[in-house]
Chain A
Amino acid sequence: GAGVSQSPSNKVTEKGKDVELRCDPISGHTALYWYRQSLGQGLEFLIYFQGNSAPDKSGLPSDRFSAERTGGSVSTLTIQRTQQEDSAVYLCASSQLTGTLVEQYFGPGTRLTVT
């Protein structure tokens, strides 16, 4: 079946502009995660959505970052007034929250470059 999809694959924007990144999870997966991976760095958790529950926003680095998930499926991560330090790969993952394992599957990512 289809995996997690993300768009755009690459985004170059000027400092101060707003950007929107999109994630379409695996069909039937109720949990959706956003991560950030800076060059040569590990995965940084940003936000988690599960059904109609309140999202876990504990990883969002500043109030310039926000995310929403409409209809329990597609999610959009918005970064307002982008800064050069926002340059990174933004990864989306989805999961079924059943059983012990809770395996997360990643999309291909969006490479964001802020000039």
Chain B
Amino acid sequence: QKEVEQNSGPLSVPEGAIASLNCTYSDRVSQSFFWYRQYSGKSPELIMSIYSNGDKEDGRFTAQLNKASQYVSLLIRDSQPSDSATYLCAVRINDYKLSFGAGTTVTVRA
């Protein structure tokens, strides 16, 4: 079983809609969780961090964490074409190391 699993997509949403991305992880003791955005040909950019159960909002992004069910999700509200990218979920697995999912590709249709 992979440590971090994401649906590869592509996830296609119309402009203005909500994009919902999901990520599950296998290590129950994981404490910190991250979402990175990666545009084609660019490096990953950290967009959200979360470590407490519940929701964390930052602008149009909301991260949701449920440790009991071992999943973390990312909602993108009012999706824009500029949100078209691959979104990587990362889970902290020890004092210093992150395990990354393979990424979900999102396409926002104008």
Cα distance A107–B42 in the bound complex, in angstroms: 9
Count A/B pairs, Cβ under 8 Å. 52
Given known A-B contacts A102-B32, A105-B46, A42 and B97 have beta carbons under 8 A apart: no
- Once the chains bind, are B98 and A101 in contact (CB under 8 Å)? no
Chain B contacts to A: CB under 8 angstroms: 31-32, 34, 36, 42-46, 49, 51, 88, 90, 92, 95-98, 100-103
19 further A-B contacts with Cβ under 8 Å, apart from A91-B44, A106-B36, are: A31-B96, A41-B102, A42-B88, A42-B100, A42-B101, A48-B96, A48-B97, A56-B97, A89-B43, A100-B32, A100-B51, A101-B92, A102-B32, A102-B98, A103-B49, A104-B34, A106-B45, A106-B46, A109-B43
Which residues from chain A contact B88 at a C-beta distance below 8 Å?
42-43
Q: Which of B31, B46, B51, B101 contacts A104 (CB 8 A)?
A: B46
Question: What 5 pairs between A and B have smallest CB-CB spacing?
Answer: A42-B102, A106-B43, A43-B100, A109-B43, A101-B49
Cα distance A108–B74 in the bound complex, in angstroms: 24
A6 to chain B, nearest CB (A): 9
Given known A-B contacts A50-B96, A100-B51, A91 and B43 have beta carbons under 8 A apart: yes
CB of A95 closer than 8 Å to a CB of B:
yes
